Amino acid sequence: MSFATENLLNEHLIVRRVGGLAQRCSQKLYANEDVPVEDVQIISVVIEEFIDAFHHGKEEKAYFPITKEKNGFSEDIRKFLIEHELGRRIAHMLRRELDALIVHKHDGLNGNGLQWDSTKSKEPVARFLKSYAVFVSDHTGKEDIFFETILRRRTLKDAEDAELLKHYAVCKQQVGGQARIEEMMRLIEYLESRDWL
C-alpha cells in the first residue's frame, strides 16, 4: 500500500469536483444566466492554489521525481508535466479574462462590491472554464491509470513512500499550511451549495 499514491488519487476526487463546478459555471454563463462574479473568482483561486500550487506541486516536486526512473514511467511523467503546463495556461487565461470583465461598483449604502461589466461578453470566461473542466477530466483520468499501475505493481518501497509523505507536508506548508487547505475545501463546499449550481 502506498499512502503517497493513495493521497494523490483521493485528491483527484476533489480536483474533479472543481472541474464539475467549472463546467456548470461555464454552462450557466453560455446560457446567459446569472452567476455571481465573486463565485467565479473563487473557482479561479481554488484552481490556482489547490489544484496547481498544491496538488500539481506535490506531483512535480516529490512524486514524479521519485517515480520517473521506475518501470519506464519517464515518458508518462513527461506528458503529465506538459499537461500541467497546459492547465496553468488555461487558468492564467481564465484569470486574465475574468479580471477584464470585473468592474468595481461603489455604492454609498452597500459599500464596495464587484460586478460583471455589462458592456462585455462573458464568453471568454465561459470558454476557459469549460476548457479547464475538460482538461481536469482528461488529465486526472490518465493520471489515475498511472497511479493505479504503481499501486498494482507495488513500485514504491516503504522508505520512498515515507519520504514522499514528508515532501507532501513541505508542499502543504508552502501553500499556507493545513488551515489554507481546509479553507480551500470550505470554498468548494460553499460553491457546491450555491443556488446557481
Q: Which domains does the chain show, CATH number per domain?
A: 3-192 (1.20.120.520)
pTM across the whole model: 0.92
Say which amino acid occupies 171.
C
For the chain, helix (H) and strand (E) counts, in that order, are: 8, 2
Taking only the tens of pLDDT, the chain with its 197 residues reads 799 999 999 999 999 999 999 999 999 999 999 999 999 999 999 999 999 999 999 999 999 999 988 878 999 999 999 999 999 999 999 999 999 999 877 665 555 578 898 889 999 999 999 999 999 999 999 999 999 999 999 999 999 999 999 999 999 999 999 999 999 999 999 999 999 88
Give the residue from 141, 139, 50, 41 showing the smallest Cα distance to 94: 41
By CB neighbour count within 10 A (0-12 exposed, 13-18 middle, 19+ buried), where does 13 fall?
Answer: exposed
3-state secondary structure (DSSP) of residue 105? strand
> Which residue is it, cell 464568453?
123
Alpha helices by DSSP H, listed for 114-175, are 123-153, 158-174
